[in-house]
Chain A
Amino acid sequence: MPTQAISYFDKLWLQIEPAVQSNTLNFWQTIYKEIYSNLIKDDRWLQYLNGLSVTIKVSFFSIIFGVVLGLILALLRLPEVKDIKYRKTNSALVNFFKYIGISILKLLSKFAGFYIQLYRGTPLLLQVLIINFGIFGTVRVDKIVIGVIACGLNSAAYVAEIIRGGLISVPHGQKEAGRSLGLSAIQTLNKIIIPQALKSALPAMGNEFIALIKETSILSYIALTELTKAGDYIRSRTYSAFTPYIISGLLYLVCTLTLTKLISKLEKRLSASDLH
């Protein structure tokens, strides 16, 4: 029964309160004071859980956004796209559209390279501040949306490089085999190359997702009440030096450990096909 439990905690608190006033707490009383004021008083544990749910929401959507955009960027950076050649056909109309299409593709490929350099080369904090105060400077958008956009755009750059690494790691023979079986270039990419590339990129992807969860803490700068800000908020009420951060830190650990477990499970399942 939560109500009974809380009244028990309150009773314990009342017992040590005189010592709090006179600053004569012993070691265990100090620890209890920290736990009580940072977790139990005024149902403060709820603040952490609210912060946790925001962190999970932002991380989840950023990861999806980052993977989708990252995959597109990685494909644009493939040598097949980068060094695509324009071959003339007999029809002038087809030639025209082919030329335009290839030019756009090449431009996009250049842009993808530039994008990755830009986002990997500048701090996420600056990106978040610029997106919040600059790009969405005069628009009223939910801070969670801004967070997802900022973190997703940043993550996409890293994901793109990770996937590109995966794509490169697929032996060239796989592509040749696919093509010689009569699959089109797109089909080969879709059914043969990308599945294998994602599989070998998975461990590095897991790392990136974990990093992303932790990096969402930067969003506390734009007044988004996520897990770090929840700790900040409690600390601004209780003036504890670091206890709220330990509690927030433990919750981050719960998130990242869960994700690590999930990814290693997925890795195991995917590696089933490696056994010959």
Chain B
Amino acid sequence: MKKLLALILSLVLLVGSMALVIGEESILVVTNPEYPPFEFIDSDGSIVGYDIDVMNEIAELAGLTVEYEAIAFDAVIPAVITNPTTIGLSGISITEERKLNVNFSEGYIDAGLALIVKTDSTIKSEADLVGKVIGVQLGTTSDFKAEEITGKDNVATYKSFIEAVKDLQGSKIDAVIVDKPVGLAILSELNDPKLQISDMELAADWYGIAVNKANLDLLDKINAALATMKENGFFDELNTKYFGN
């Protein structure tokens, strides 16, 4: 009798744990939450922002369970490459080089780059940047752009662009290049009259969601959801919420 009870109990446990493992399709979303307003940590410690709102909507439309994990930006794409059920969502601009390593969803917002300098700076336009030390976040399109303008040795690469802005405030570097919405958000946060921001001349810079090359099924689901969201006015609402226009 005791043996039978033990057998039944272990069977129940086994089935129960299997149900947990099989469960729903859970997707890990890796992001670098130091990039307001796209992803940042709010006062109660959870990851929020524009991208997160987009992902939550996609998850709802496509019936996915998502979990968010905070990592460094330069680790986002490697994390997607190494795990088929990991998604990279961190204001990632779609570039040809990155496409060699991951698949991208359709672009969901056109960010564009901006230049932050001190108000008393001699830098007035992109041409003045040659030979100047430019601070950027490592591995971003700003990083690639800065390297193109001023050469690798003059680019100071930081784990987070906020540190670059701090070094700019301390005059250790001459300028910071960053995605425009992010630059605007941080400047309004810092409220430092000695800093100014201006647009950079650059073609479209679309953000996409990075998906492992092996997981085409997931990519299709995300793209289908994005198409629906673009049609039903979700993005208009979201842009009003975050950018007011």
Contact = CB atoms under 8 A, between A and B. Distances in A.
Interface stretch (B4-12, B15-23, B123-131, B159-167): B159-167
Nearest to A47: B152
Contacts of B135: 223
A236 interface: yes
Interface residues of B, number: 29
Interface in A218-234: 220-223, 225, 229, 232-233
B163 A223 contact: yes
Interface residues of A, number: 27
B100 A241 contact: no
Contacts of A239: 77-78, 81, 98, 101-102
Nearest to A221: B159
Contacts of B214: 23
A240 interface: yes
A137 B170 contact: yes
A233 B171 contact: no
A235 interface: yes
Interface in A124-138: 132-133, 136-138
B77 to A, nearest CB: 4
Interface in B68-107: 74, 77-79, 81-82, 97-98, 100-102
B157 A233 contact: yes
A183 B115 CA distance: 68
A138 B170 contact: yes
Interface in B108-159: 135, 138-139, 143, 156-159
14 contacts: A133-B163, A133-B167, A140-B172, A221-B159, A223-B135, A223-B167, A232-B138, A233-B138, A235-B74, A236-B74, A236-B138, A237-B97, A239-B78, A239-B98
